[in-house]
Chains A and B, each alone.
Chain A
Amino acid sequence: MKPTIKAAGFDGFLVTFGEGLDEAANRAALAFRNAVEAAGLAGVQESATSLVSTYLRFDPLQIAHDEIRVALETLLGEQDWHAAPLPQGRRLWRIPAAFGDDAGPQLAEAAEAAGMGAAAAVKMICATRLRVQTIGFAPGMPYLGVLPEAWDIPRLTDITAAVPAGGLCLAIRQMVLFPNTTPTGWRHVGQTAVRLFQPEADAPFLLRSGDEIAFHPVGADALAALEHDPGGGAICEALA
């Protein structure tokens, strides 16, 4: 899809690289946001990425909408953003997760919807290198993708009242990890001990967009033992 530029509210623009969840569009959004930050456009106050878009907020009293639009068009024309490499400084997080039973009460039904047994489901999830496609909705909350096609299962219309912090849920080939206890329509398949957002810490956010995640299965007892580790047993390594 050709990127589009749209005004988002009074003082923002959204540059969109795809219509649906799309790996190349996600990469384009990450790379383009870095380019927007690097360009240091006058009047731009902050930027972020969503799944397939780059958002920027600016001061329309300092720089006109048209000027920002032209600057964005120029930046867009500089390269094929869908072919852009992933940003530098990304990290791989190996995160222990307990699956099924109390740790993931909806694992069995999710696996059934994906056409496999629970053990095969855990194996497939843990074999998939997931990427933080965006962080949003709640502070520090990652959207992870992309799971194999079998996992293109819808969100539930019946909302689960409370998935605990660290809960690992999935739908539509994506996974989310909740920073806090959250009601959700995503199926709760596992549990981690990572603390994604620690409000009082100097560095309160664990993950960044573009980081990669690999889960590995542990028993509920092993997970409970990690409760007091703010990293939740996650091991971090730099990605080249």
Chain B
Amino acid sequence: MRGAGVNRVLTVTRAGPGVTVQDLGRPGYLAYGLSRGGAADRLALVEGAALLGQDPDLAVLELAGAGGVFEASEDMRIACTGAPMRGSLDGRPLAWNASHLLPAGVALTIGPAEAGVYGYLSVGGGIDTPPHLGSRSTHLVAGLGAPVEVGTQLPVGRDAGGPVGLQVAADSRFDGGTIRVVASLQTHLFDTAEIARFEAAVFHRGLRGNRMGVRMEPDGEGFGLSQGLTILSEAIVPGDIQITGDGAPYVLLAECGTTGGYPRLGSVIPNDLPRVAQAPPGAELRFRFIGLEEAVKIARAAAAEQASLHAKCTPLLRDPREMRDLLEYGLISGFTDGRAVES
């Protein structure tokens, strides 16, 4: 038997500054001031898991802006999702939103993002670093874990095996767009006119942004409460839109604090948070309020869609001009390349 887990290693031979191990986060420590954290774009983990036919709880590599070069100790299945990044595998262009076989010892090069902010590299069996407080996710703000350094040998879990050469439909969440928002604790303290102005405004994702949150630059005047009001520090959650001192909204992301005293104009629905996290600096965004009932409907539809994602994966169609040998791609035998990794 191969792949008992101990010897499967993904070596990082080059890495941009923002490569971290992420999963769906670390719930349960809010009462100690530690936010859940986890992947900035949780949908990308679901997509990667669908491509590999595995659990979205498994840890992946999050690549913030820049990528890296990776090498596997043995044949591994991989999937690339999230912000589309330029990449190559064994010298050939790497299709994004797709699964591939990464043969042992072959360089997987992932370059800068072509759109969006956070790209994800999922591995069959998941990144198997030791969990801490119930999660493998790096929480940069809290100092739990640190960015992956060059030379790191990341343990990879046992892969149940399955096909590669699949793709999921590409999404449009990488260039801003309209973000749906529900009311938050202080929404009612803002004047109706101020809310209307907020919904009509065009924002550009600011230069300042990280896993804690991103600043939105308004095209006109900033926003605020009509009377200065001291708000007692209160629970804050990812998605909350804080109005900071100068009136620019700041949307909280996975690594936000747990309490805050800025007034919150609304809260981005979880389904649109990947679009916020993936909006690159300068991307245009708008906000639109919806009711909680509609937000639940959206979440329900998205959950159903995500559950069917694996079944909806299609064979990866390659540009014949780039193909060296049709047979090598396994087109004869259907959509797998015939070299699915057993374990």
User: Which residue numbers of A lie inside 8 Å of B, CB to CB?
Assistant: 6-12, 14, 19-21, 33, 45-53, 55, 57, 60-61, 64-65, 134-141, 143, 180, 197, 199-200, 204-205, 208-209
The 7 closest A-B pairs by CB, nearest first: A136-B259, A9-B267, A55-B235, A48-B30, A48-B31, A139-B34, A205-B32
Contacts of A6 in B (CB 8 A): 185
B114 on the A face (CB < 8 A)? no
Contacts of A50 in B (CB 8 A): 232-235, 259
A65's contact among B132, B257, B270, B296, by CB below 8 Å, is which? B296
| Nearest CB on A from B146, distance (A) | 10
Asked if A55 and B30 make an inter-chain contact with CB atoms under 8 angstroms apart, the answer reads yes
Asked if B182 and A10 make an inter-chain contact with CB atoms under 8 angstroms apart, the answer reads yes
Contacts of A11 in B (CB 8 A): 270
Which chain B residues (1-59) contact chain A, with CB distance < 8 Å?
27-34
Assuming the contacts A8-B184, A14-B185, asked whether A51 and B33 have C-beta atoms less than 8 A apart, the reply is no
Contacts of A135 in B (CB 8 A): 31-33
Contacts of B316 in A (CB 8 A): none
Assuming the contacts A10-B182, A11-B270, A12-B237, asked whether A21 and B296 have C-beta atoms less than 8 A apart, the reply is no
A12's contact among B28, B29, B143, B235, by CB below 8 Å, is which? B235
Asked if B32 and A9 make an inter-chain contact with CB atoms under 8 angstroms apart, the answer reads no
Known: A9-B239, A60-B299, A137-B260. 17 other contacts (CB 8 A): A6-B185, A7-B183, A9-B237, A12-B235, A14-B185, A50-B234, A57-B27, A61-B299, A65-B292, A134-B259, A136-B233, A137-B259, A138-B142, A139-B33, A199-B142, A205-B33, A205-B34
Contacts of A8 in B (CB 8 A): 184-185, 235, 237, 267
Contacts of B237 in A (CB 8 A): 8-9, 12, 57
22 A-B pairs with C-beta separation under 8 A = A7-B292, A8-B185, A10-B182, A10-B295, A10-B299, A11-B270, A46-B30, A46-B31, A47-B30, A47-B31, A48-B30, A52-B232, A53-B235, A61-B296, A135-B31, A137-B257, A138-B257, A139-B33, A140-B34, A197-B143, A205-B29, A205-B32
Q: Chain B: how many interface residues by the 8 Å CB criterion?
A: 38
Q: Which of A60, A134, A139 has the most CB of B within 10 A?
A: A139
Assuming the contacts A137-B33, A205-B32, asked whether A197 and B142 have C-beta atoms less than 8 A apart, the reply is yes
Assuming the contacts A10-B270, A48-B258, A53-B235, asked whether A140 and B303 have C-beta atoms less than 8 A apart, the reply is no
Give the docked Cα–Cα distance between A21 and B29 (Å).
Answer: 23
B197 on the A face (CB < 8 A)? no
